[in-house]
Structure 1
Amino acid sequence: MNRPGKSRLVLLLSVLALLASACTTEVAGTPLSQGSVVSRDTPGTGVDPKSFVKNTDGGEVDRLAATVVTDVRVFWTETFPTAFGKPFDDLSGGYYSVDTADADAKAPPCADKAADVEGNAFYCPNADIIAWDRAALLPVLRDRFGEAAVMLVLAHEMGHAVQDRTGAGLDERKADPRKWPTILIEAMADCYAGAFVRWVADGKAEHLEIETDRLDQALESLISFRDPIGTSQGDRGAHGDAFDRVSAFQDGYEQGVKLCSEMTVDNRTFTAGGFLSADDQARGGNLTFSEIFDSVTPGLDDYFTKLVADKGKQWTPPAATGADGEPTCDGGKQGPVAFCASTKALAYDKSGELPKIHSEIGDYATATLLASRYGLAARQTLGKPLDGEQAGRSAVCLSGSFTGSLFAANKRYLSPGDLDEAVQVLLDYDYAARDVKGTAKGAGFDRVREFRKGFTQGGDACGIT
């Protein structure tokens, strides 16, 4: 995060770069369980790709892709008429599997050679086809993030096909690029993918099922597709930062296709942005661990002073003390940052896990956890319970509302990547949602949702009224 004369380093994740009509993915990250999507069919069966996938080898990767595509087609066949008032027309050009490991492999339409598809899955409106790399993309996504990643990628590309059928296709984008910037088009496709995943989670798919507690892995894969840190939302190829992409997916998951179809540049706020200075860019926008507390606490005090004053209470800033090891307050373990209700103070681990999180994710991961403990302090000031699931959700939400206040302040205090770091730490750790006794409920998906609620709606949405 920014402050006068200071900036900081961010963790660079793998990114999604846009080609004119294709989505190219470079995949990196920590391996996760592959159980995020489970076929209802007997293992090794599912949909035979030879039944409709062109150039397939009939192998395991294409079987998974064919199974996903089959359910996606059914979803749109059922959903499209209600949403758009006409039947869904399947892709006239079909679906193509490409073996990019074979120099002699046949290229799909819209590509000169098979190697052009390497690391890629795309929808080509000129030929009305979807193609994917079965050698260097889908198996890597599956092994790294689980089958949910394959589902997301193919559902996203089908989302582009839906746009082509509903007035947001390539011709419309060329005619009015200001109305249809790339970042909006990609958000709509992420949103459509979220609506499909909800349909699967609700048990409506014939072949696929996904447990809600596995949605974190879906979001982890989506984060890996974000733009490089510092990409401006106005860039021709911008897809959005992790916060933009996760937000679009969750909106589709929670509110459905209609919301996705009605997204515009006027009703959608994007958080991706470029660096504010050359110094900020040179350092990646990161404060060191030794700097972060002095940098963020004045803003936290200002924000929570006003928040509780609006409720007729007076804010007393909680003093923060660093020690070696995880703090234990009032018998509960809240993680590497804790609010001690009995002393109305904060304690944090200055040499163990918190500096590690700071280093591996980024400084706004630290700020997010710290803000959540300030949220508990605010609840105490307002006479609200500090234990139980509601207290934990409220703490996360208040962390989001504080962050939203920084974003609203002309983005002066947030650097590119800050919101991505918040999403990452909420997915990876439950610390922000722990109550004063150290208990937390819900998955990372739920924590991100609560953070976004505070970010977009403010502190009054956080259960403190």
Structure 2
Amino acid sequence: MRRRHLARLLAVASAAVVLAGCGTTISGKAVSVFDDPFKVGGLQAVDGASGLRSDAEKPTRRVSHSDGGKIDELGAQSISDLEAFWKDNYKGSFDGEFRPVKDLISWDSNEYDGEFCGDTTSDLINAGFCDDDNTIGWDRGVLMPALRQANGDMAITMVLAHEYGHAIQKMAKLNKKGTPTLVAEQQADCLAGVYMRWVAEGNSKRFTLSTGDGLNNLLAAMISFRDPLLSQGDYADSGDEHGSAFERISAFQFGFTDGPTSCAAIDAQEIGQRRGDLPIELQRDQTGEWPVSEESVRSIIAAMNIVFTPKKPPTLSLDATSASKCPDARPSPPVSYCPATNTIAIDLPGLEKMGASNEGQDNVLITGDNTAYSVLVSRYMLALQHERGGLVLDNAEAGLRTACLTGVATTKLSKEVTTPDGNTVALTAGDIDEAVSGLLTNGLAAGDVNGESVPAGFNRIDAFRIGVLGDQDRCIKRFP
């Protein structure tokens, strides 16, 4: 029996992305402020300016060893703004009193520039909070310029919001000695989300953040921060696990939507419940690669038929032009669903291109097989919605419902499914991150029957996460 698995690639050091448009805005009526397809956690989803205000207040902090450049200016402004936020919002959320960090330290990793937290700053391409002396530092030579070029000024602010989150953890005594790094890192991601919500609400006197493209760029940056893909046993040896892109974005979303108490609630048990049986590492005999082909597409459709047992399984067509003849839906290449004929039409070369691995390439978000397969699965989930009846398939709720149901299917495929053609279809480590990248950049897995998706990548990923952690009934109830 031949074994094939959905793909995953190794981490890229940094990711730059031009976030693609995802179709025109579509109509829909939301059931609550937090489920409104055109709002992000209750805030209107809009594109617009993001970054340092032209009339920003002067920083209240100075940077030690600064070269006086733009990176350090943004660093000083970011920390000043974070301290203005936490000064007003720490009390009432955590015990004790807010105390600013002791010092801010900048270095150029291209040169020997001193020490940070006991380490030489030569080749230290990093940013961090030093628990030993209550300082925050960053590399102005490589790391911060790359992040700024890739995802804008606010990517620098977000990194420092994460690092200040570690300072808040220490202040609030959120964690006992021996708390796993994984917990501390995702709490800090969450606390960064709390602050970014405040900025997005227009409360900052230094920065702006749009809930459309601005927030999308921050999520893209978070994908680049994910753990590299490791093989069996590596995590146990390293002790330095931070989490997948899916997990870290989820933590950020908790803070953005639910506030500081949701961050304090993140612990090993909560992360374990979120992970469930999802794979986090490759088995020793896995590469995680299954290039898109006619064989793989047919096997995945067969696996979906086994998992969901529809009364009338959708027909698969490799004639992409047939989608243009559908009387009740427009094409959504490279995969289209036609309700009238219950047919999934595939542009195989287009799907192959979408699923090509970009391992080793700089300046791009991760892609791989499951970037493509998640889109294929989403069109199958439209077929299941059509069979159920009573659900509108061409509005905003349909797009988010489809993303949610695609998440449900993704979790179901974490268990091996052997298809009649002799292949074994199973989710492998990293596949969810590839799906998340696709949701952010092209949005097709969160598209309605016409391929239209809601404007905010935050909402698309949030809907997918609800499905990964839930079931079909939860998706349909959430997005009726």
TM superposition score normalised by structure 1: 0.84
Residue 400 of structure 2 contacts residue 460 of structure 2 at CA under 8 Å; is this kept in 1? Answer: yes
Tell me, in whole angstroms, the C-alpha distance in 2 between the residues paired with 1:350 and 1:98. 49
Tell me, in whole angstroms, the C-alpha distance in 2 between the residues paired with 1:250 and 1:32. 19
Tell me the residue number matched to 2:146: 140
Tell me the residue number matched to 1:321: 317
Tell me the residue number matched to 1:22: none
Tell me, in whole angstroms, the C-alpha distance in 1 between the residues paired with 2:226 and 2:114. 30
Tell me, in whole angstroms, the C-alpha distance in 2 between the residues paired with 1:8 and 1:300. 14
Residue 5 of structure 2 contacts residue 427 of structure 2 at CA under 8 Å; is this kept in 1? Answer: no
Tell me, in whole angstroms, the C-alpha distance in 1 between the residues paired with 2:331 and 2:294. 23
Tell me, in whole angstroms, the C-alpha distance in 2 between the residues paired with 1:181 and 1:370. 37
In structure 2, which of residues 249, 254, 263 is the aligned counterpart of residue 251 of structure 1?
A: 254
1:422 matched to 2:435? The reply is yes
Structure 2 counterparts to residues 9-408 of structure 1, below 5 A: 9-14=7-12, 26-30=13-17, 37-42=50-55, 47-48=58-59, 51-91=61-101, 93-103=102-112, 105-108=113-116, 110-115=117-122, 118-168=124-174, 172-173=176-177, 176=178, 180-213=179-212, 214-230=214-230, 234=236, 235-268=238-271, 269-270=274-275, 271=278, 273-278=280-285, 280=286, 283-305=287-309, 315-323=311-319, 327-328=323-324, 329-330=326-327, 332-351=330-349, 353-360=350-357, 361-383=367-389, 384-407=391-414
Q: Which runs of 5+ in 1 are unaligned?
A: 15-25, 306-313
Tell me, in whole angstroms, the C-alpha distance in 2 between the residues paired with 1:409 and 1:265. 27
In structure 2, which of residues 5, 8, 12 is the aligned counterpart of residue 7 of structure 1?
A: 5
CA shift at 1:60, angstroms?
Answer: 1.1
Instruction: Describe the shift of the 1:422–1:86 C-alpha distance in structure 2 as closer, same or farther (beyond 3 A).
Output: same
Tell me, in whole angstroms, the C-alpha distance in 1 between the residues paired with 2:108 and 2:451. 50
Tell me, in whole angstroms, the C-alpha distance in 1 between the residues paired with 2:314 and 2:63. 61
Residue 32 of structure 1 contacts residue 145 of structure 1 at CA under 8 Å; is this kept in 2? Answer: no
Code of the residue aligned with 1:316 in structure 2: it is K
CA shift at 1:326, angstroms?
Answer: 9.2
Helix, strand or coil at the partner of 1:317: coil
Residue 233 of structure 1 contacts residue 273 of structure 1 at CA under 8 Å; is this kept in 2? Answer: no
Residue 100 of structure 1 contacts residue 114 of structure 1 at CA under 8 Å; is this kept in 2? Answer: yes
- Deviations along 1:322-375, whole A, 9 cap, x unmatched? 135794333512231111111011101112x21111114212122211121122
Instruction: Describe the shift of the 1:81–1:142 C-alpha distance in structure 2 as closer, same or farther (beyond 3 A).
Output: same
Residue 327 of structure 1 contacts residue 336 of structure 1 at CA under 8 Å; is this kept in 2? Answer: no
1:446 matched to 2:470? The reply is no
Helix, strand or coil at the partner of 1:267: helix
Tell me, in whole angstroms, the C-alpha distance in 2 between the residues paired with 1:424 and 1:112. 34
CA shift at 1:46, angstroms?
Answer: 5.6
**Higher relative contact order (Cα pairs below 8 Å, separated by 6+ residues):** 2
Identity over the aligned pairs, expressed in percent? 32
Residue 17 of structure 2 contacts residue 220 of structure 2 at CA under 8 Å; is this kept in 1? Answer: no
Residue 334 of structure 1 contacts residue 438 of structure 1 at CA under 8 Å; is this kept in 2? Answer: yes
Instruction: Describe the shift of the 1:323–1:36 C-alpha distance in structure 2 as closer, same or farther (beyond 3 A).
Output: farther
Helix, strand or coil at the partner of 1:131: strand
Helix, strand or coil at the partner of 1:161: helix
- Deviations along 1:56-82, whole A, 9 cap, x unmatched? 122211111111111111221122111
Tell me, in whole angstroms, the C-alpha distance in 1 between the residues paired with 2:11 and 2:204. 32
CA shift at 1:9, angstroms?
Answer: 4.6
Number of residue pairs aligned between Structure 1 and Structure 2: 426
CA shift at 1:442, angstroms?
Answer: 2.5
- CA root-mean-square deviation: 2.7
Instruction: Describe the shift of the 1:66–1:10 C-alpha distance in structure 2 as closer, same or farther (beyond 3 A).
Output: same
Tell me, in whole angstroms, the C-alpha distance in 2 between the residues paired with 1:138 and 1:453. 32
Tell me, in whole angstroms, the C-alpha distance in 2 between the residues paired with 1:59 and 1:325. 54
CA shift at 1:227, angstroms?
Answer: 1.0
Tell me, in whole angstroms, the C-alpha distance in 2 between the residues paired with 1:400 and 1:230. 23
Code of the residue aligned with 2:54 in structure 1: it is D
TM superposition score normalised by structure 2: 0.82
Helix, strand or coil at the partner of 1:82: coil
Code of the residue aligned with 1:301 in structure 2: it is N
Tell me, in whole angstroms, the C-alpha distance in 2 between the residues paired with 1:289 and 1:193. 41
CA shift at 1:277, angstroms?
Answer: 3.6
CA shift at 1:206, angstroms?
Answer: 1.5
Residue 7 of structure 2 contacts residue 430 of structure 2 at CA under 8 Å; is this kept in 1? Answer: no
Residue 404 of structure 2 contacts residue 464 of structure 2 at CA under 8 Å; is this kept in 1? Answer: yes
- Deviations along 1:185-208, whole A, 9 cap, x unmatched? 111111111111111111111111
Deviates most, 27-36 or 183-192? 27-36
Tell me the residue number matched to 2:37: none
Q: Which runs of 5+ in 2 are unaligned?
A: 21-46, 358-366, 418-424
Code of the residue aligned with 1:430 in structure 2: it is G
